């Protein structure tokens, strides 16, 4: 559907006045399949705007197929887990709570080796560019 401009306002069925626009039905075009059918709509996530913005930048810089967003693990609204699409246990916990404005923290987690406890590195005060570069390197391990 798209909106078609009218030369004058028209009454809507609800009794209000539309500001010169009406809906025009069109045939839906087929949507190409995403490499990840399970990639959630970032705007629909119950997350802080800073996290949503970060995810959009990461999708743009790294590519949608470079990581999966873990929506099953309950974490703070200002944090999220992203995971390598193929290597189980290779993931990153990203957050912006307790950080300067426009800065992020990250826990880069590595897969368990021989039953050992999880290994991770912690970074704080990262810019989006620094974080993006770090994640590109982190997810390229496998």
Helix H, strand E, coil C: the string for the chain is CEEEECCCCCECCCCCECCCEEEECCCCCCCCCCCCCCCCCHHHCCCCHHHHHHHHHHHHHHCHHHCEEECCCCCCCCEEEEECCCCCCCEEEEECCCCCCCCEEEEEEECCCCCCCCEEEEEEEECHHHHHHHHHHHCCCC
The pLDDT-based confidence of 88 (bands split at 50, 70, 90) is: confident
Q: Residue 42 is encoded by which pair of tokens?
A: 């970032």
- Tokens at 16, concatenated: 């209000």
Lowest mean per-residue pLDDT among 2-6, 63-67, 106-110, 112-116: 2-6
pTM: 0.69
The answer to whether residue 21 scores a pLDDT higher than 90 is no
């Amino acid at each position: 559907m798209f909106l078609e401009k009218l030369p004058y306002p028209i009454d809507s069925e609800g009794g209000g006045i539309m500001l010169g626009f009406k809906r025009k039905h069109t045939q839906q075009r087929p949507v190409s399949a995403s490499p990840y059918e399970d990639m959630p709509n970032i705007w629909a996530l119950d997350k802080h705007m800073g996290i949503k913005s970060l995810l959009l930048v990461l999708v743009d810089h790294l590519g949608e197929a470079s990581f999966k967003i873990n929506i099953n693990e309950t974490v703070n609204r200002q944090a999220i887990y992203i995971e390598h699409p193929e290597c189980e246990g290779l993931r990153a916990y990203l957050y912006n709570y307790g950080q300067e404005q426009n800065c992020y923290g990250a826990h880069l987690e590595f897969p368990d080796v021989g039953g050992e406890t999880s290994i991770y590195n912690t970074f704080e005060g990262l810019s989006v560019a620094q974080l993006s570069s770090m994640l590109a390197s982190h997810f390229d391990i496998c």
